Amino acid sequence: MQELEPFYNWRHLYRANEDEFSPFFGREYSEFYYTNQVYNFLIHPQWDDFGSSTLFVKFLYVGYHEKVAIIEFIGEWNDAINNDIMTLKRELIEDLQSNGIVKFILIGENILNFHGSDESYYEEWWQEIEEEDGWIALVNFRSHVLAEMSTENIDHYINFGGILNDFEWRKLTPHQLFDEVDLIIRGRLLIP
């Protein structure tokens, strides 16, 4: 796991540690000192700790004009024990929302497991952004993770499945990714 780095090809466009509105503003990164881990496995030092013991993130791009955040994840998303959604919502998402972000692309190729609890924080998040035509989209999450999320009724508040499960996003710019996901989400909303 220590070799799994966050996607870095957009670093010339956005760096969370240089964004004064980011909760990671001013953070210093090492390429050599591994301090965070998921279970007993060290993870690359470029991943950001936000208070969960098993889930880590990287803000790949935040576009204030487009009102979008693209966030990559690694680890285990555990709402049952760690209440990761509450920590994510309170520590990161609310900061983004306070700066106008209402569209969220969450990339989950490196999410190993999901353990649900209840849907209340997902519902709260969705209710806060829906009036501003906001949405939450999961891109490339593993099928067993999405199956567990569906059993917890999270799919009432978050868009996933279909083309979003097999998306070649690394070939795109952040703007192209946003445009394509936005088109998919708007198409779903128009279906009767």
pLDDT in tens, the chain (192 residues): 557 889 999 999 999 999 999 999 999 988 778 788 888 888 888 999 999 999 999 999 999 999 999 999 999 999 999 999 999 999 999 999 999 999 999 999 999 999 999 899 999 999 999 989 999 999 999 999 999 999 998 999 999 998 999 899 999 999 999 999 999 998 865 544
At 93-144, the pLDDT tens digits run: 999 999 999 999 999 999 999 999 989 999 999 999 998 999 999 999 999 9
- 6: closest CA among 72, 75, 54? 72
What residue ranges define each of the domains in the chain, with the CATH number in brackets?
16-36+50-118+127-190 (3.30.750.24)
Contact criterion met (CB below 8 Å) for 134 and 168: no
Q: Phi, psi (5° rounding) for residue 84?
A: -60, -35
pTM for this entry:
0.94
